[in-house]
A and B are shown apart, each in its own frame.
Chain A
Amino acid sequence: MNVQRMLVSATIAAAGAAVVLMAVPALAHHSSAPFYDATKRVEAQGPVTKFLFKNPHSFLYFEEATAQGKVEWQVELGAAAGLTRTGWTPETLKPGTLIKVNGQPSRAEGSHGMCCARITRADGSPIVAGGRVTEEEQPPK
């Protein structure tokens, strides 16, 4: 195979790959699929217990009161560097703040984890005034 034909083939392959990537909107970062089930949604609410604002991924913890007692949820968020660009700071969610979270559930049996969540205050208003409520369109981790 001559060099020119190889280059043409490589270009076609790259273009094909680009089309596939664009057709899968979920692939912005890297897949959360090994950990979270994108076909399901769960919702819970309660007071924030802990907010770890860090790289490469932040974690938000809150406590839901259920009939069986209290359950602590772990919500995986984007990097501190990314959250900052959406107007969030480490002080945005202080312990005790009431929030409502709707996200993809963790695949781990018996765990209470979520990713790719829509997070609002208990009344449905955005966490940051005027800010968006969907923290990440897709995949952490």
Chain B
Amino acid sequence: MLAWLEGTALATWTRESPSIWAYPLVLTLHTVGLGIVVGASAVIDLRLLGVARRISMPSLAPLFRITLWAFVLNTLTGVLLFIADATHKAGQTVFYIKLGLIALALWNTVLARRVVLGPTQNDAAPSSRHSRLAVVSLLLWFGAITAGRLMAYL
């Protein structure tokens, strides 16, 4: 199955194309998508922590859709990067740690979305629930990035 994935035309193109518009572009898009997903999440997290309180919570709503689209981009580019090297990556523990942290971070984002879109008092100090969601989110994304980067080294 993994070997078959690795042998598909798409995987072979990603892995073996000498073009700068192949692997380097896929990897670049994966990095840009990561920047947007984690960047937008960090904005939400910081607001939950009480930074920039003049921004009303519900006005952050569009950030969730931007996060979603950037996440779709990273799923697509991530699949390409995975299949190009499937037999190796599927054997890496740190890859599963990365996927697990991303899953938890996304679930946390769903919870944060309910809070952000729910009724809030803008100038109120952040509740402990808000702070918890934000800190957990930041830690999970930090961990996911670290795990992803370590895939090149472990």
Q: Which A residues have a C-beta under 8 Å from some C-beta of B?
A: 30, 34, 53-56, 79-81, 83-85, 89-90, 141
Contact in complex: B16, A54 (CB < 8 Å): yes
A54 to B17, CA, bound (A): 7
Q: Which residues of A contact B16 (CB under 8 A)?
A: 53-55, 80, 90
Give the contacts of B1-31 with A (CB-CB under 8 A): 14-20, 22-24, 27
A79 to B25, CA, bound (A): 13
Chain A to chain B: the 7 pairs with minimum beta-carbon distance, closest first: A55-B23, A84-B18, A54-B15, A80-B18, A81-B20, A81-B24, A54-B16
- Number of inter-chain CB pairs below 8 Å: 39
Greatest chain A CB density within 10 A among B14, B18, B152 is at: B18
Contact partner of A141 among B17, B18, B152, CB < 8 A? Answer: B152
Q: What is the chain A residue whose CB lies nearest that of B16? A: A54
Contact partner of A83 among B18, B22, B84, CB < 8 A? Answer: B18
Q: Which B residues have a C-beta under 8 Å from some C-beta of A?
A: 14-20, 22-24, 27, 84, 152-153
Contact in complex: B17, A55 (CB < 8 Å): yes
A81 to B25, CA, bound (A): 10
Min CB–CB distance A36 → chain B (angstroms): 12
Q: Which residues of B contact A79 (CB under 8 A)?
A: 23-24
Query: If A34-B153, A141-B152 touch, does A81 touch B15 (CB 8 Å cutoff)?
Result: no
A56 to B14, CA, bound (A): 9
Q: Which residues of A contact B24 (CB under 8 A)?
A: 55, 79, 81
Contact in complex: A80, B23 (CB < 8 Å): yes
Greatest chain B CB density within 10 A among A30, A34, A80, A90 is at: A80
